[in-house]
Amino acid sequence: MFYPAERLRDFTCLFFEKLGCSSSEAGQIAAVFLSAELRGIGSHGLIRIPDYYRLWKAGRLNTNPSIKVTRETASTAVVDGDNAPGMLPALFSMKTAIEKAAACGTGWVSCRNSNHFGIAGYYAMMALDHDMIGICLTNANPLVAPTFSVSRLLGTNPVAVAVPAGKQPPFVADFATTPIARGKLEVSVKKGEKTLTGYVQDKKGNPTDDPDILRKGGSMLPLGGDREHGSHKGYCLAATVDILSAVLSGAGFGPFVPPSVAYLPLPPEGNGKGTGHFFGAMRIDAFREKHEFTAAMDKWIETFRNAKSADGKPGVLIPGDIEREQEQLNHKRGIKLLPAVKGELNDIAAETGMDMKL
């Protein structure tokens, strides 16, 4: 069933108000959820509302937070998210990074004591309106084993980078540091299909095509898949994301990231607070006249778009192309919700006394 974006936004907003958020904060959170839905990243959309609800019911989510800068220099800050829904510390942190960049060229914020924040690309893209390059990294629930290991020590730790262009739409990369997102494994499980090798390994470290292996002690592999194909590089990248997000801020690192679902226990205390994120904003004109930069970026995009395709392959995509097309389509056609998701959301609406039903 298809819903207008506005309706899903209202539903999400009302839900977070019922959890105790102010209407302004609930609206800000809803905007991030809707951006995921519109951009075709439904895995980070309303399907996750039940997870937030259960974390909140378990007393593991603070909907009346005091988010603040705990340390700063001219170009940096550390933010404590006070265990809020991750969107609020993330929005606060990225705004801080943008303010710092306006004042001294670049701004860099490491954030602790946060939670799952939706799509990283949302925060990176906030920089675009300010003629800045935006960067956003986050650590996440440990599911990924470093090269040679079977221990789940890293999350799918995404990297998002948004770069403004001129006549061309912006370059927006937002990618996990694993070959695929965890959500794709779930889809294969639900369809009863095998997955490709190179995504996961069993609990002894053997290759497998069983998409359900995470429930059997298995783990995801870093980008690259195996050592011969550069999994140590995916591991380096995910590790860098973890260090900048968590070791720099004092968040839980690696295996100590708190789960974003309530059915998994909290990690042992004393290893950092909450989930960690890292944000960057770089003013274009700190480096180059804006018109020169955007002209060069347009040429970069045109050069790549006009590259020769491999036999039988479509044209080269610029990062952000697919999501932008999805956004246009979903605005026009409406956003699809699976019946099971709709049912669960309506149950939650009833439980929380929301005056709305999907």
Produce one character per residue of 167-206: b if its CB has 16 or more CB atoms within 10 Å, e if not: ebebbbbbbbbbbbbbebbeebbeeeeebeebbbbeeeee
Shortest Å distance, C-beta 328 to a copy of itself = 20
173 binds a copy of itself per the rule CB under 8 A: yes
**Contacts to a copy of itself from residues 287-326, by CB under 8 A:** 287-288, 292-293, 296-297, 299-300, 303-304, 307-317, 319
Structure tokens at 105: 């060229």
Q: Measured between alpha carbons, how far apart are the two ends of the chain, in Å?
A: 10
Closest alpha carbon to 15 in 351, 358, 349: 349
Among 8, 26, 30, 237, binds a copy of itself (CB under 8 A): 237
| Three-state secondary structure call for residue 320 | coil
- Rg over alpha carbons for the chain, rounded to the nearest Å, is 20
Among 47, 67, 144, 248, binds a copy of itself (CB under 8 A): 248
236 binds a copy of itself per the rule CB under 8 A: yes
Shortest Å distance, C-beta 344 to a copy of itself = 30
> For a copy of itself, which is the closer residue by CB, 81 or 179?
179
**CA dist list (Å): 241 to 2, 31, 137, 234:** 36, 25, 6, 11
Shortest Å distance, C-beta 113 to a copy of itself = 14
240 binds a copy of itself per the rule CB under 8 A: yes
**Contacts to a copy of itself from residues 339-358, by CB under 8 A:** none
108 binds a copy of itself per the rule CB under 8 A: yes
1 binds a copy of itself per the rule CB under 8 A: no
Distance between CA atoms of 277 and 60, rounded to whole angstroms?
A: 18
Shortest Å distance, C-beta 207 to a copy of itself = 10
Beta bridge pairs of residue 172: 162
Distance between CA atoms of 330 and 328, rounded to whole angstroms?
A: 6
Shortest Å distance, C-beta 275 to a copy of itself = 15
Shortest Å distance, C-beta 68 to a copy of itself = 15
> Which of these ranges, 7-15, 279-287, 327-335, 347-355, lies near a copy of itself under the rule CB under 8 A?
279-287
Structure tokens at 314: 């479509």
How many other C-beta atoms lie within 10 A of the C-beta of residue 20? 14
> Which of these ranges, 51-59, 224-232, 257-265, 344-352, lies near a copy of itself under the rule CB under 8 A?
224-232
Question: What type of residue is 181?
Answer: A
**Contacts to a copy of itself from residues 186-205, by CB under 8 A:** 196, 198-199, 201, 204-205
**Contacts to a copy of itself from residues 58-97, by CB under 8 A:** 71-76, 78
104 binds a copy of itself per the rule CB under 8 A: yes
